[in-house]
Amino acid sequence: MNILLTGGAGYIGSHTAVVLMQEGHEVIIFDNFSNSKRSVLNRLEKITGKLIVCIDGDIRNRSLVKQTLQYYKIDAVLHFAGLKAVGESSEDPLAYYDNNVAGTISLLMAMKSCSVKILIFSSSATVYGVPHYLPIDEKHPTDPESPYGKTKLQIEQILSDLAKSDSSWRIFALRYFNPVGAHESGLIGEDPNGTPNNLMPYISQVAYGILDKLKIYGNDYDTPDGTGVRDYIHVMDLAEGHLAALDYVGNHNEAFSVMNLGTGNGCSVLELVNLYEYEASKKIPYEISARRTGDIAACYANPEMAFLKMGWKSKKTLREMCFDSWRWASTSLQKHKD
C-alpha cells in the first residue's frame, strides 16, 4: 500500500514508518517539523536502507495535501500530526483546536475529494478523563479534562459522523495509553523540546546527568506504593498495532471503530524508577513533591478488544522499555551536554 503518515517525522510516526516499510509498504511522510527534526529522515534511511519520501508541509494546507494524495496514489492515511502537550493546551487552546481539530477537518476534506477513505487516527486514553473503573475498556465514558483531550474526543466525534454519512469510509481511532521506549537501533526515539513533561524522558535526563533529580508528583495516592500508576507501552508495540489496524480495516466492513492500545498492566512511578536504575546501571535521585494538578491516581487499559478483533497484543516488557529508552537517551542526549 502507499501510505501517507501525517506527523510521520515525530516520535510515534517515525517508529511506525519503520514497521510499515519493513512490511513492504511505501511510506510518504507529511510533516511541518513543528515538533520534530529533519535529521530523523536520515536516521530512518539508515534503519530501513530505503529512501524516505517526505513532504514538508502543514495538514491545514489542503491543496498541498490533495496534491500529495494524488501524486503518490495514496491508499491510506495514518494521522499522527497534532500538538500534544496537555499543559500548553490550557495556555493556548486556540492553537490546539486550530492545529488538531481544524487540521483534521482539512485533511479529511482533502481525503474525501481524492476518494482516499482509509484513516488510522492517533487518539489518546486521555479522552476517558478520570477513570470510573479499571481497567478501562472502550465502553468507559469519555470526559477529557484538558483542551488537548477535548480535541482528541471532538476529532473522534467528527470521524464517527463522517463514517455514518458514508459507510465506505474505513476509520480507526486508536486510543494510546503511555508510549515509551525507542527503536532497538538507538537511532530514533522521543526527543522532547526543553524540559520533558512526561516521566520516562524526564528520568532519562536525570540518568544522563542533565537534570539533577526527578520530582515524583505525590506519594499519597490510593495505589500500592502511593505513586501514580500508568500503562506504559513500548512504542514498537504501538507501531505494530498500526500495522494490525491497517490489516483489519482492509478486511472488515466497519466504517468507524475505536480501540485501546495498551498493555493492560499498571506500573507506578517508583517501580519505573527502580527498573530504569537497574537497566541503565545509574542512580536516579528523586524527591517526593506535591501532586501535579490534573493528575489521576491510576489509569490502565483493558486491551482485550485489540486482541479479539486484530490479534494484536503488546509483547515488550517494562525492562525493555527502560533499556531502550536509556540506549536512545544516552546516544541522543550528548548534544544537550555539549
Grid look-up 491545514 returns: 60
Q: Out of 1, 2, 22, 34, which residue is the one contacting ligand NAD (CB under 6 A)? A: 34
N-to-C CA span, the chain: 42
Q: Find the shortest distance in angstroms from Cβ 86 to ligand UDP.
A: 6
Among ligand NAD, ligand UDP, none, partner that 80 touches (CB below 5 to 8 angstroms by kind): ligand NAD
For position 33 contacting ligand NAD by CB under 6 A, the verdict is yes
Identify which range of 34-42, 129-137, 150-158, 214-222 contacts ligand UDP by CB under 6 A. Answer: 214-222
For position 202 contacting ligand UDP by CB under 6 A, the verdict is yes
Site string for ligand NAD, 61-100 (x = CB under 6 A): -------------------xxx-x--------------x-
H helix or E strand, kind and range, residue 162: helix 147-165
Q: Out of 58, 156, 237, 279, which residue is the one contacting ligand NAD (CB under 6 A)? A: 58
* Percent of the chain that is helix, strand, coil (3-state, to 5): 45, 20, 40
**Would residue 148 show up in a list of annotated catalytic residues for this protein?**
yes
User: In angstroms, rounded to a whole number, what is the distance separating the alpha carbons of residues 66 and 185?
Assistant: 34
Write phi, then psi, for 67 (nearest 5 degrees). Answer: -55, -40
* Residue 205 near residue 277, CB atoms below 8 Å: no
Among ligand NAD, ligand UDP, none, partner that 216 touches (CB below 5 to 8 angstroms by kind): ligand UDP
For position 263 contacting ligand UDP by CB under 6 A, the verdict is no
For position 171 contacting ligand UDP by CB under 6 A, the verdict is no
Q: Where are the beta strands (DSSP E) in the chain?
A: 2-6, 26-31, 53-56, 76-79, 118-124, 170-176, 178-180, 214-217, 229-230, 232-234, 256-261, 267-268, 286-289, 298-299
Residue 190's closest CA among 319, 11, 6? 11
| 273-312: contacts with ligand UDP (CB under 6 A) | 292, 295
| Residues that are catalytic | 148
Interface residues toward ligand UDP, by CB under 6 A:
178, 197-199, 202, 214-217, 228, 230, 269, 292, 295
